Every structure is written in C-alpha cells, then in structure tokens.
Structure 1
Amino acid sequence: MTINVGGTFFLKPGSICRMMVVAGLVGVLLPAGGCTSTSPSNTTPVGLTEGPKDTGSYPNLNVPPPVAAKQLTKEETAANLAQLKAEEQAQAAKGGKVTAPSNATALNTLAKTHGADTLKQIEGKCDPTLDPNCN
C-alpha cells in the first residue's frame, strides 16, 4: 500500500517539481538544526568550581571504593613464594616433569598421530601399546 502512495505522489506529472521542493526543504532545514547549540566559551567546568560530592546515587565515581581484601605484606609474599617453590621441587622429585621430544621429526609424527590416538582412547577403542590400562 505504501508503494502506491509513493507512486501517486512522485510519479505523476509535475513530480520533478515536487522532488525539487522536498530536496530544497531538506537542504534548508537540515543545516538550520545545527545552529541551536550553545557556545562552550561561556560555560565553566563543574570540576574546577566544585569538588567531588557524594550524591547518594549509585554508582558514585567520585568516592573511592572500599578495598575488597587487605594487601599481602612482603613477608607474606615471600612465604607464599617459598611454599610454591617447595611444592614445585617435591613434584619434580616424584618425576612429574614431562620432557618434550627434542627433534622436529618426532614432533611432527606426534602432531599427526596425537589426535587419532586420543580419539581411540576416548571412544573406548584404545590401543594397549598406548595405554597399559586398556582392556
């Protein structure tokens, strides 16, 4: 239905004149809308005249938020780091370190077969040479 309205308004004799009138109105009214702003030279920034205020509304960005937890002291940081290093050394003593193959061909064959081997183990069709616990 809107196609017919547009067709009857713009496609009749004299439609070029109507289109020119509409274009002229848009050309005149569109720039006039930009002239309604105020000049920034006569305004003073609020931050320079007034300090931060607690307005009581959320969020108030002027008031620093409370700290969630106390910060660790240097002694506590050193104690935690020493504990982590001790656990790391205990894990390494158990043989928990994994060494990667050093040559490129071994890495390439691992990349080609790793996905298929993993899928076999997941699907229950595992290879006893890869997994000694396989049934």
Structure 2
Amino acid sequence: MTINIGETVFFDAARFCRIGAAIVVLAVAGCSSTNTGGPVPMAEDAGPKDTGTFPNLNIPPQVAAKQLTADESKAKLAELKAAKNAQGAKRGGVPGSQAALTDLAKQHGPQTLKQIEGKCDPALDPTCK
C-alpha cells in the first residue's frame, strides 16, 4: 500500500484556496454598496448625553398606564370568572372529577377494542350483524 502524499497535500491545498477565494469574493461583495452619498447622519437626540452630573435615581419612573384600584381589579376578576364559567357550561358532558374520568377510561377501552377487533356489540353499534 502506498501513500500518495503529493496528491493529498495538493488537493487539500486547492480546497483551502477555493474556500479562501470564496470568502474574499463574499467580503468584497459585502463591502460594495450602492450608497455613495457618504455616512448616514445620526439624529441629534440619539444616544446617551453627557450632562456633567450624576443621574438622580430617586426620581420615580413614569408609569405607562393608570394602575387599577382594588375595586376595579375585583370587578375584572369577577368578569373573567363569569367568562370562565360560561365556557365551562358550553363544553357539555365532559366529566370533571378524576374518578369519573377513570370510570370513563375503564368503559371506553374495552368498547373500543371490541369495535377494532370486529367483535361488535349491538348495544354499541346498531349496524352490527
């Protein structure tokens, strides 16, 4: 078994040269720009300003919106609970307790298996023969 060192070295070098050339081409393409008007001017009030004094951290920040009073928050909570109860009434006959869900699972599993296996029950499927 022979090792062709020249082939490995020159083909690897060619690969690195191709990668390097691609990087140079992309860099040159990224540097070219259609804007030849010079630098873009910044706004006058952009960025931090040096006022020559330390900031006063004791000034409370301005709030974005008026805070809710206790009565307003209770009214909003009551409104949300009413909407929640209205949604609960719409969902129909879904059992809510864990015991009811467990009983439903115990009944539903065998019924589904009977239908899948073809052992139909006339009580479950009236079209069963």
Q: TM-score, normalised by structure 2?
A: 0.29
Per residue, is there more helix in 1 or in 2? 1
Q: TM-score, normalised by structure 1?
A: 0.27
